[in-house]
Amino acid sequence: MSTMGAHDAATPLHASLADTVYDKVKDDIAEFRLVPGDRFTETEVATRLGVSRTPVRQALFRLQREGFVQVHFRSGWQVCPFDFEMFEHLYDLRIVLETTAVHRLCEAALDRVDRGRLDALQTFWLVPKPERKLDGRLVSKRDEEFHATLVAAAGNPELARVHRDVTDRIRIVRRLDFTQVDRIHSTYDEHAQILRAVIRRRAEQAVLLLRTHIEASKSEVRKLTLHNLYLAQKPSRA
Q: What is the pLDDT of residues 157-175, one digit of tens each?
A: 999 999 999 998 888 888 8
Query: What whole-number distance in Å separates Cα of residue 181 and Cα of residue 112?
Result: 37
pLDDT score of 130: 96
pLDDT score of 134: 96
pLDDT score of 164: 96
In DSSP terms, which residues pair with 26 in a beta bridge? none
- pLDDT of 194 > 50? The answer is yes
Reported as a pLDDT band with limits 50, 70 and 90, residue 116 is: confident
Q: What is the pLDDT of residues 66-109, one digit of tens each?
A: 888 999 987 899 999 888 888 899 999 999 999 999 999 998 87
Mean pLDDT is highest, among 70-79, 113-122, 194-203, for 194-203
Task: Identify whether the C-beta of residue 80 lies closer than 8 Å to the C-beta of residue 31.
Answer: no
In 3D space, the residue among 212, 231, 221 whose CA is nearest the CA of residue 84 turns out to be 221
Query: What whole-number distance in Å separates Cα of residue 90 and Cα of residue 169?
Result: 8
Torsion of CA 190, 193, 197, 198, to 10 degrees: 50
Reported as a pLDDT band with limits 50, 70 and 90, residue 4 is: very low
The percent of residues in the chain predicted with pLDDT above 70, rounded, is 88
pLDDT score of 50: 95
Higher per-residue pLDDT: 231 or 184: 184
Backbone φ, ψ for residue 7 (5° rounding): -70, -10
pLDDT score of 22: 94
pLDDT score of 12: 59
pTM of the model: 0.78
Reported as a pLDDT band with limits 50, 70 and 90, residue 8 is: very low
